[in-house]
Structure formats: C-alpha cells, structure tokens
Chains A and B, each alone.
Chain A
C-alpha cells in the first residue's frame, strides 16, 4: 500500500537518441519537479489567500489587521497563556509519547498489541468528546474521580478548569502523534549501540540519556515542533476548559475576530502570520539539528536486528504502571463515553441509572440515513489522503534531506505552511479557487480530498523527513553502483527502509482525517457528507448520548483499521525483513 507513488515513469523505455535525451528531463527530475509543484501549489493557494486577506483591503496595502489583532492590552496575557499551555502540553505529550514508544518497541514489556492500540486511542476520540469526558471525570463540581477520592482528600481535589487541566487533557490527546513518530524512530535504530554502552558499564538510565535520546533527536525535534504549533492552534480544549474561568489563549482571539460579521480576516490573518513565523523558525531549526552530519543515520549498510531489551525484574512493575496509566488516560474517558452512550441524558452513575440503560442511541445511529454514506466517504477520503500524502512526502523528504539542490529547504517550509492556516480560511481559499476552475471539482468529493491532502501534508512531511534522517546514504550509493536507476533505488531501497515512518504517518493521517471538520463543513455538498459532519450535527443538537455512541463506533472502526494496517505494514517494515 505504501509503495504506490506518483505516476510510474518507465526508466528502461527511453530509447531516443542523445540530443533528444538532453532536452528531456530525466525521470528523477520529472518526479521531483512534479512533487515540488504539487506541494507548492497545495501550500501557496491558502497562503496566498491568507496573506492577501491580511495585507490588502479595499484601499490597497494595509497593516491595520495587525493593529486590531495585537493592539490589545490583553495580548501579552493571551500570548503568555498560550505559550505556557503549548509548552506544557508539548512536554507532557513528548514525555508520555516517547516513554510509551520506547517501552513498546525496545523492551519486552507485556501486552504489546493491546498496548499499541491503546496508545493511539486518544487520537481517535474527537477532541470535543475527549474534553467533555474529562469534564465529567475531573470537574470539581461533578467529576467522578473527585467523587471517588472525596472521602480521602476532600471535595474538588482535581480541577480540570485550570491551565494544568488544559495541559493534561491536550497533552494526553496529542501524545499519540509523538508516540507514532517515536515508534518509527526506535524501530529504525540499531540497538547494538545501546548494547555496547551497556557492556561498557553504563546504567540503563545513562544509556537512555546519552545514547538513545541523542539518536532519536530528529524525531524528538519534529515532535516538539508539531506539538507546540498544534497546541498553540488548539481551540477545543481552551474553549471548553479555559473559558469557564476566563483563561483566554491566542486562538480565542482568532475565533472572536472570525466570528463577527464581516469576519475580520485581516486580524485573523495577522495572528496566523505570527504563528507562521514561529513555525518557519521551527522547521529551519529542526533541519539544522537533523542535518548535523551523519549522527542520526542508524540504518546503515550493516545489518542489524532490533532486539527487545529485557526488563528483567522490572517487567512486572512496568507492566503494572502501564495498566495504571491506561486505566487513567484511556479506559476512564472511554468508559465515560460508553456509559454516556447508553443513557438518555448524562447523569452521575447510580444503581437506578444502570437499570434504565438502553441501546436506543445505537439504534438511532443505525437509522441515520446519512451514516452509511458518511462512513464510506470518510473511509475513501481517509485512505486516499493518507496514501497520497505519504507517497508524495516520501519523495519530497528525499528531495529535502538527500538532494543537493539549492533552496530545497523551501519545499520543507512550504509543506509546513498549512499547519498554521485556520481550517475556515483553507475552506474559503479552496472554494474560491475551485468555484472558478474549469474542471468541475467544486461540489464533489475531490475538493475534500484536496483539502485533506493540504491539511495533512505538514504531518506527512515530518514523519517522512524524520525517517529519512535515519537512513544512511551508503545504501543508496551501493544501489547506484550496482546499476540501479534513481527510481529503482527509491522504490526498492528507500521506500522499504522508510516504511516504519511512512506507516506511522499514514496511520496518523487516516485517524485524524476522520474528525476533520473546520474545512469539510464549508466544502462538502449534499451526498458528500463525512463522519465529522454527522458528529458536528449531533453536537449542535445537543445529542451527547448519540454522539457518544458515534464516538464508540468510531473508536472501534479505527482500531480495526489500524490493526489491519499494522499487520500489513509489519511485512514491509524493518522488523521482518532483516
């Protein structure tokens, strides 16, 4: 599934004479050119739209938007809150995601398969549901966990409506992105380096700090980059948890300026431009870190067999810790979801409530006319965009990391641009372009596919680039020496080596595409509904119980899909081929 890249170019059919060949671009140039063009096109359409809206008004160039966006006495408090929130969530997700990935890939920890699926569950639960589950668990007034510990610690021990609560929920919700990135990195890492350190008398902790972490640095930097930008952009958690006690963040402002009529695109754009500058610096930094020599190239010509580290007597302790962690962060919210899905309205659990439980919400779900269409469309879009993005980004990653073309960094920067563009602006930009396109794309599923590919390009790129940093160029060189063409080398050597990273990116995009709403809602048309639109409708109607049922079904569907993907992926990955 992962190896189907852009149009195959026959390499051995070029039989034309020399002068003819000189004018024809080589297949390599052609492929790189097409990929570069596609990335540029996808990124520049919304960027152009955003910048135009930011800097131009009826009278020409203007920076009034910046004044309206930043000229506010509260802006420093907003930025302060945002940075604190983003940094906290990034650190939490990094620690949690990395630890889980390390234990899963590199040790003989028990319950591995279950462990893997459970690690990505927070990603699958729609943000709004995950946040509400946490309100029901840890609100000082009604939180179930608070009720549970009340006899010991008194009332209102945990308060989810604080900046710490926000960090907790956002950090856990984002941790699967880190988990997937780090899993890919650890899978491509030669454990002999760690083993040598151990043999030389280093403790396990020293090995982790001095060998493992430095080797995984490109993946760690990529994680931090994505996490910080994502948390700066996040709105669901700040809106549901922060607003209650008046903790405003950056995105609250974007929300407010886009809400009124006419929407203040200039001010929203000015805020997005701030994020953009931050992101560009981040990408540049991560490439400097990733590029410094061959330090991270752990996949080299030497064969290695990733062998799990034996935890010994710690195995049961770590196993118990993992179970505790999952009960707290995955099972508890899921149970709340499942519980709510069996009720007519949310109420704290009592014996009486259990007697009145029904499957009515699931019945309603089945009866929903659009549910089947929406599920089908979401599957087509999810699998389609995940496959296209990872195929293109694999080539783009080679271009950025391996080629010596000057300005290759521009491609990397461009691929990252969509991350900072608000979904609504992306939707407007795309409808603006395709309403005028001679090819009838507006009103079809294709416009959603384009939107999804644009939105997920930044993630695909980070997953692919991170993996590419780990692969030594000597493998390609030997393929070349043996007479393989660039395209052959790419397909037969690079793609299989990149497989863990590509698969991780693919899974990530598939999963999050199921809940993309902000641009879908503007671009779908009757008959093209997707699941996230149904979720939004249930949410708007206040049908939380049906919504929870839908959430449970989504979690199950995606767990199934992810498991299949991993079964298939394991065959092309590094695990079995060595």
Chain B
C-alpha cells in the first residue's frame, strides 16, 4: 500500500512534467524576440495601393475564408463592427476573442510561446500593443489609410484606431451649474472633499497629467501637492463603468478620469451626468490595431486593418468613440495632450506603484 502511494506521487509528477516539458512558465510564457510559429508573408500586398490593393486582398482573403481578431473593444462596439464587416465581406468569417487588455496580452504571449498562431489581428490598448511590438510579434503596417492618421497615432509596429479620452465628469444633481471643475487643478479643491472619485488603475492618466503639468512649468513639489490634495478629496473605485454608474446614481459627485464615451452613453440615456464643457486639455490614450506576424489569414488581416482605418472608423464614431482618423473633428477644437505610450511601458512600475501609493495615502507621488 505504501508503494502504491509513492507510485501515485511519482506518476502524477511524471505525467505533469511530461506535459509541461519542464518548461518555465514565468512572464506569461513568452520569450522575447521573434515569433515561434511560422510567419506569414505580407510583403506581396503592403506596397499595393488603392483599388488594386483592395481587389487583390479581397480575392486572397476570401480564399482564406476566415479572420481571427483578438480585442479588448467593448462587446457593443465589437458587435457593431462585426455586423458592418459581415455586410461588406460576407465570405470572410470574423471570429472574435474578446477580453480585457490584461488578458489579451498574456493569451497571445502564451500562444506564441507554444508556436500556436491564434490571432490574425490584435486590437487593444496602447500599453499592450507596445509590448507586443517590442516582442517582435507585429508586422509593421503600410497603406493608404496611414495618411489620415495623425502623427501621434502612428507607432512603429501598430496604428492607433481610436483614442480613449480622459476627462472629468460630474453628477448634475450634486454639482450645480457653475460649480463643475473647469481645470484639472480644480479637482484638488477642498470643495470636492468626499465627492471626488479616482479610479485605482488609472496610473497612465496619472502619468499623463503629471507630464502635462511638468510641461506647463509646475515643479515636482507643486504637482505632488495637487495630487495629494486630490487623493485627500477622493473615494476610490475600480473600473470605469462602475465609476460612471456610481456618478450617475449620486454616490460620487465628480469622477476625475472617466472615458468620455462611457459618460456620453449614459448621458444619452438621460442620466444626470455631464462632462461638458470639457476640461482643457483632455488627455488622450491611443488604442490600436496590429497585424500578427504569425497570422494564419494574413490577407484577411490586412484587409481588416485597412477597413478598420476606413469604413470601420465611422462605426466607432457612431458609438461616441474618438476615431484616430478624425481626431480634430471629433474633439471639436478642445485642447488635448497625448499620453507618452513608450514612457508608460518603459516606466510602468514607477507610475503604477506611485499611483498606488498616492491612493493608499502612504507616501509621496513618485
């Protein structure tokens, strides 16, 4: 019987090791550098332009018959995009894996490490796109559509498709007209004590606002003071949807850093929530799309990206999002500053920790 038990332990350990290949599963399973699966050849299409490119791509993509998109776009937007895509390209099945950016990234890294080419196109937050690009998994894009994307939306291996716009929003029953925040500095006003809400994951916003204030000529001490006053005013909340919901229900008076499209949607439903006049400048964070080097359906992938930067942009606009090809038109003259995406990735730990400490009230800002 004792031998049985020993056998059991050994056998299960052996089965396990065999299954794992003894491999190191750290860091999301991804070894940096090059893709592990067979890479696709995009070169035959990238140089083409105009109608010729479109026709060649459609023929090739219909032959492939399928397209796999990994995205953190919200379900509602994805559904609209999928409908619009199917109307135009009914012979190219669009398969969608949808999760938050924090899950899309490890999933792709994990698949790549195992030589599994699951995704053809990725559409997610700047931070995650930047990591994928740094790992050499994305095929640099070329195409007519790039002419319409502003310089701040063009990155080495991926292209911005839309911008998330950070701006304060407030409950109109609690914050009377005239009392709403007009500048970012206003959020530090003690008048908002106990009414302000900060989102616990918005360290990128925190860095963006910090950098903007630095560029304005404020000293680190002044900036620290402002943030600490904000933190002293604030209740903390997790998730931008909860933040919006709690603002419109009156739990919070002012939400410091919500995405404008979430607020606009609630406002359109008639909720007592407002974000206009927008604080100037609003802070933009790009979200973008990239072509996977290991795509199983490269023609469809390229066609999709062309489409997303063209007809797809209208779908985004109709859903209150800020499309990358019509930034000025969408913001209607409001000043904006762009988040330094490369900096967020490179100094991720510093800002993430600094913001966490600010919120938990234990230390200075950074």
Residues of A within 8 A of B (CB): 29, 33, 36-37, 40-41, 44-45, 48-49, 52-53, 56-57, 73-74, 132, 135-136, 139, 141-142, 161, 239-240, 243-246, 248, 256, 258-263, 265-266, 344-348, 369, 404-408, 410, 424, 428-429, 431-433, 435-437, 442-443, 521-522, 524-527, 533-534, 537-544
Pair B103/A522 contact, Cβ less than 8 Å: yes
Residues of B within 8 A of A (CB): 1-2, 4-6, 8-9, 11-13, 15-16, 19-21, 23-29, 68, 74-76, 79, 95-100, 102-103, 105-107, 110-111, 113-114, 116, 118, 127-128, 131, 200-201, 235-242, 244-246, 248-251, 262, 265-266, 269-272, 345, 348-349, 352-353, 356, 359-362
Q: With the chains together, A52 CA to B27 CA distance in Å?
A: 11
Contact of A431 among B12, B76, B99, B110 (CB under 8 A): B110
Pair B245/A246 contact, Cβ less than 8 Å: no
Q: With the chains together, A37 CA to B265 CA distance in Å?
A: 52
Residues of B within 8 A of A265 (CB): 26-27
**Given A41-B16, A56-B26, A443-B118, 19 extra CB contacts under 8 A:** A40-B11, A52-B26, A246-B236, A260-B348, A260-B349, A262-B27, A263-B102, A406-B5, A521-B103, A522-B103, A522-B106, A522-B107, A527-B95, A537-B98, A539-B239, A539-B241, A541-B74, A541-B76, A544-B245
Pair A542/B265 contact, Cβ less than 8 Å: yes
Q: With the chains together, A161 CA to B270 CA distance in Å?
A: 28
Pair B107/A44 contact, Cβ less than 8 Å: no
Pair B352/A436 contact, Cβ less than 8 Å: no
Given contacts A53-B25, A256-B356, A410-B5, A544 and B241 within 8 Å (CB-CB): yes
Contact of B8 among A40, A527, A537 (CB under 8 A): A40
Which 5 pairs across A and B sit closest by C-beta, in order of nearness?
Answer: A40-B12, A542-B241, A435-B114, A537-B75, A345-B271
Residues of B within 8 A of A136 (CB): 249
Contact of B9 among A40, A534, A541 (CB under 8 A): A40
Pair B97/A33 contact, Cβ less than 8 Å: no
Pair A74/B266 contact, Cβ less than 8 Å: no
Contact of A345 among B110, B269, B348 (CB under 8 A): B269
Q: Closest CB of chain A to B306's CB: distance in Å?
A: 22
Pair B241/A244 contact, Cβ less than 8 Å: no
Residues of B within 8 A of A345 (CB): 245, 248, 266, 269-271
Pair B241/A49 contact, Cβ less than 8 Å: no
For B76, the closest partner residue in chain A by CB is A541
Please report the number of residue pairs spanning A and B whose Cβ atoms sit closer than 8 angstroms: 201
Pair B241/A53 contact, Cβ less than 8 Å: no
Pair A74/B100 contact, Cβ less than 8 Å: no
Pair B26/A57 contact, Cβ less than 8 Å: yes
Residues of A within 8 A of B242 (CB): 132, 240
Contact of B19 among A139, A258, A405, A433 (CB under 8 A): A433
For A263, the closest partner residue in chain B by CB is B28
Contact of B251 among A135, A239, A261, A542 (CB under 8 A): A135
Residues of A within 8 A of B24 (CB): 52, 56
Q: With the chains together, A437 CA to B74 CA distance in Å?
A: 32
Residues of B within 8 A of A258 (CB): 102
28 contacts between A and B (CB under 8 A): A40-B12, A41-B12, A52-B26, A141-B251, A142-B249, A161-B235, A243-B200, A244-B237, A260-B348, A260-B349, A261-B131, A347-B249, A347-B271, A406-B5, A428-B29, A432-B25, A432-B114, A436-B114, A521-B100, A524-B97, A525-B97, A525-B118, A533-B98, A540-B74, A540-B239, A540-B241, A542-B265, A544-B245
Given contacts A142-B250, A243-B238, A406-B2, A33 and B20 within 8 Å (CB-CB): no
Residues of B within 8 A of A348 (CB): 249-250
Interface centre among B8, B244, B362 (most CB of A within 10 A): B8
Q: With the chains together, A344 CA to B273 CA distance in Å?
A: 13
Q: With the chains together, A37 CA to B15 CA distance in Å?
A: 9
Q: Closest CB of chain A to B320's CB: distance in Å?
A: 12
For A55, the closest partner residue in chain B by CB is B26
Q: With the chains together, A433 CA to B15 CA distance in Å?
A: 11
Pair A433/B20 contact, Cβ less than 8 Å: yes
Q: With the chains together, A431 CA to B110 CA distance in Å?
A: 7
Q: Closest CB of chain B to A539's CB: distance in Å?
A: 6
Q: With the chains together, A240 CA to B197 CA distance in Å?
A: 12
Given contacts A405-B5, A428-B110, A266 and B248 within 8 Å (CB-CB): no
Q: Closest CB of chain B to A279's CB: distance in Å?
A: 19
Residues of B within 8 A of A407 (CB): 2, 5-6, 9
Residues of A within 8 A of B68 (CB): 526
Contact of B28 among A262, A410, A433, A524 (CB under 8 A): A262
Pair A369/B110 contact, Cβ less than 8 Å: no
Interface centre among B21, B27, B262 (most CB of A within 10 A): B27
Residues of B within 8 A of A240 (CB): 237-238, 242
Pair B4/A29 contact, Cβ less than 8 Å: yes
For B75, the closest partner residue in chain A by CB is A537
Q: With the chains together, A248 CA to B200 CA distance in Å?
A: 12
Pair B15/A41 contact, Cβ less than 8 Å: yes
Q: Closest CB of chain A to B78's CB: distance in Å?
A: 9
Interface centre among A161, A521, A539 (most CB of B within 10 A): A521
Residues of A within 8 A of B1 (CB): 404-406
Q: Closest CB of chain B to A438's CB: distance in Å?
A: 10
Q: With the chains together, A492 CA to B96 CA distance in Å?
A: 48
Given contacts A259-B102, A263-B106, A407-B2, A526 and B25 within 8 Å (CB-CB): no
Given contacts A37-B15, A344-B270, A540-B100, A435 and B245 within 8 Å (CB-CB): no
Q: Closest CB of chain A to B51's CB: distance in Å?
A: 31
Q: With the chains together, A539 CA to B299 CA distance in Å?
A: 34
Residues of B within 8 A of A37 (CB): 8, 11-12, 15
Residues of A within 8 A of B127 (CB): 261
Contact of A428 among B97, B106, B248, B356 (CB under 8 A): B106
Pair B76/A543 contact, Cβ less than 8 Å: yes
Residues of A within 8 A of B95 (CB): 526-527
Pair B238/A410 contact, Cβ less than 8 Å: no
Q: With the chains together, A48 CA to B106 CA distance in Å?
A: 18
Residues of A within 8 A of B16 (CB): 41, 44-45, 48
